[in-house]
Structure 1
Amino acid sequence: MQQKLISLAIGATLLATGGAMAQEVVKIGYVGPLSGQSAHLGTDTSNGARLAVEDLNAKGFKIDGKPVKFVLMAEDDGAEPKQATAAAQKLADQKVNGVIGHQTSGTSIPASRIYYNAGIPQISASATSPVYTRQKFNTTFRVVANDLKLGGTLGKYAVQKLGAKRIAVIDDRTAYGMGVATEFVKAAKGAQIVDKQFTTDKATDFNAILTSIRSKNPDLVFFGGMDSVGGPLLRQMKALGIRTKLMGGDGICTEAMPKLAGPTAGDDAIVCAEAGGVTPVQQKKMEEFAGRYRKRYGQELQIYAPYSYDAVMAMATAMATAKSADPKKYLPSLAKVSYPGITGTIAFDAFGDIKDGALTLFTFRGGKKTLIEVVK
């Protein structure tokens, strides 16, 4: 009798253990710059994805009626294309169920082929180059507006709202910087582009190009690049007596920009746009998320955390609809997903671009990012 009870106890233990082991683990990869000049942005985006994973687990998210456990597998690409493809291949080899990333267009584009070949859905929360979603890869998505809209909107705003007549343009030669600058120039109809200059995403000395620009007497300078370069660029603009506004895309539209630019980031010295944005209807959700983010991480969110959060949630929603976390099975559902996110409804067009993507125009006042308007 005792032996029988022992056997029953062992059997019950094995069943319990087996049940625990049977819980499916859904691996969500994240790749972005967790080191280097843009680490603050990559960390912000990673934090947003991690918060989504924690929320899914806390509410016992189910796929086909069975609870699953989500895990975030974060990789650092240093905003470098070669490092990005190595990280992408690592995640593909680990058979992740989906990927959030990469941060920049220059890393998202080369990595996207690896995910496509592996059949793994990829959603970027920040890459804006049109090329990214124009490669005929059905695995490629983004939750922010692309450069066609970002640069185009800024170009129109510069001429129609700021009254710019003579514009100098600088880009950092990255896919993002060149893309947004090109679209800006196309849309800035009615203004004269008095100078075009180039730098790099690692540069710190802009004396030569700014001296050239100063001689052309522009009334606006547009920069296609990130805040790590844009901040020092603005410092040196002011040091050389170039008193015009600096305009740029989401790369310089960060909470870190005033710190990087120092005292030169005075009131209304910068006009920038985020590739995303929430209408007043969504503002309460965004404020609640910002509060939760602050409590969880002890810091203010930068830009992309709400978008990476929505990207994870849209991916999970597609899995639930398809009743499977198998990439091949839930990919068609992801293409047709409609998820009411923090940043708005996440739904994709035939290219994998966000439908009806919004842009938010900002300036800085008192060192704080200040809303100008949301446009669609």
Structure 2
Amino acid sequence: MDRRNFLRAAVVGAGTVAFGFSVTRPAIAYPAKTGPSPYGNLLGADANGIMLPQGFTSRVVARSTRTVANTGYTWHSAPDGGVCFADGTGWIYVSNSEMSSGAGGASALKFDGNANITNAYRILGNTTRNCAGGPTPWNTWISCEEHDTGYSWETDPWGVKTAVRRAAMGRFTHEAAACDPVRKVVYQTEDKSDGGFYRFVPTTWGDLSAGKLQVLTTNLTWADVPDPDGSPTPTRDQVSNMKLFSGGEGAYYRNDICYFTTKGDNKVWAYNAAANTLDVVYDDNLTSNPPLTGVDNLTGAGAGDLYVAEDGGNMEICIITPDDVVAPFLRVTGQSSSELCGVAFNPAGNRMYFSSQRGTSGSSSGGITYEISGPFRS
């Protein structure tokens, strides 16, 4: 075990509590610093305008307002957050649509074991600004509406069951959701400059129809939100000592830690639920020549790497390694009026999916969804 992993293990083993432990974050490696990518430098742009490391290739799997190959389905505009679900030897990639005025929702791409597209279909419709969300352990997709009176919707990736509005999870500017099966809660981010970091505690795990909405406070306790409906008082204004986060974005849970991003200050956070600590994994003000700006959706890979997509910046998906190095993994060229989102891996971890929300046109109707294949670390 190397020094930084030893120190991290020592902190967890000692039963660290927030604000009660004297070792500072720099002593145990956070935050990540600019360094060389484990995949090497980016090569010149390929035929799809994507700069990738050696050994990786890209393909377009769907374009907004166009029929998906081998199907009769027209792919949605403004593709945003997404994730993959196992489907026999194949998988399903679900993607939100961040369209306004009831034109949002979510769709799915179905792949066989050879990565051929076999179907595409709608799994949620007639909703507004579906931005990010998160998968559940019982194989549903929580699709979140990003507006002041937005809801979370539980959807079926296979498109068989009707999507259900989960009002008990709160009505606010939802962004992402991440399930914690150990504590049996769902963490939620809020895309407001004075937003909160929430958790929903279902009455029965596996059933999101009822439960308590709570928000993280400044002393890292969880306080009940008195009125999850947020009317007339917004949920973020109901708990006086709520900890403020500047523009909550993506969320991803792994091994007792919920990682989430805040775009207002370009940070990646780690809430360690077992130790009840909150750390900054990445801050663009704390490294030289920061490669990651405009933090947005994020996901993880088998090697312990995090992949963070940019909304703005120079249109990159960056990697943050377990050794606390941050570097570009890919860059999309010629699409400066867009944003990258929906980054997710298939179950085998050898194919990455993501979208450029507005593509080369800069319009919601110009969205492009990509697949990257290659020797990802396992």
Query: TM-score if structure 2 supplies the norm length?
Result: 0.29
Higher Rg of the two aligned structures: 1
Q: Higher strand proportion, which one?
A: 2
Query: TM-score if structure 1 supplies the norm length?
Result: 0.29
